[in-house]
Amino acid sequence: MIQFTLLFASILGGLAVVFGAFGAHALKKILSEEQLKSFETGVKYQMYHAVVLLIIGFNFNLATTSEKYMVYSFMAGILLFSFSIYGLVISSAKNKKLTFLGPITPLGGLFLIIGWSLLGYVVYTMPF
C-alpha cells in the first residue's frame, strides 16, 4: 500500500507539472482568462494533494482501514476534482462542453474533504 501510494503521488505530481506547463503555454492561446484560472485551480489542487500523498506515504504505515480509506479518498478526490476541471475547461474551449463533468467536480471536492477528515481522525487516534 505504501509503495502504491508513493507511486500514485509521484505520477500525479509529475502530471501536475506537465499540465501546468501545458496550461501556461499551449492553452494560454485558446483559453479565456477565467478558463485558464479554472485550469490552474485543477493543477494546484492536484499538486497539493500529490504532496499530501507523498507525506502520508512516507509517514504512515497504511495498515489500518482508516488509513487506507484516507489514501483512497485523496486519490479519488484528485482524479475526480482536477481531471473533471481539465475536461470541462478544454471541452468548453472547443465549444463542445462536457456538461456531465460539472457534478463530478464537487464530488471530487467531497472526497478531498473526506481524505482530510480521515487524516485528522488518524492523527487524533495515534498513540503519542
Kindly give, in sequence order, each residue whose CB lies less than 8 Å from that of residue 127, ignoring residues fewer than 6 positions away.
Answer: none
Distance between CA 115 and CA 86 in Å, rounded?
21
Percent of the chain clearing pLDDT 90 (strictly above): 86
Instruction: Read off the C-alpha cell for 120.
Output: 485528522
Q: What is the pLDDT of residues 112-121, one digit of tens each?
A: 999 999 999 9
Q: What is the CA radius of gyration of the chain?
A: 16
Q: What is the band of 128 on the pLDDT scale with cuts at 50, 70, 90?
A: confident
Percent of the chain with pLDDT over 70: 100
Q: pLDDT, tens digit, for every residue of 69-101?
A: 999 999 999 999 999 999 999 999 888 889 899
Split into its structural domains, the chain has a count of: 1
pLDDT on residue 66: 97
**Which domain covers residue 7, as residue numbers?**
2-124
- Dump pLDDT digits (tens) for 12-64: 999 999 999 998 898 888 999 999 999 999 999 999 999 999 999 999 999 99
Distance of CA 114 to the CA centre of its chain: 13
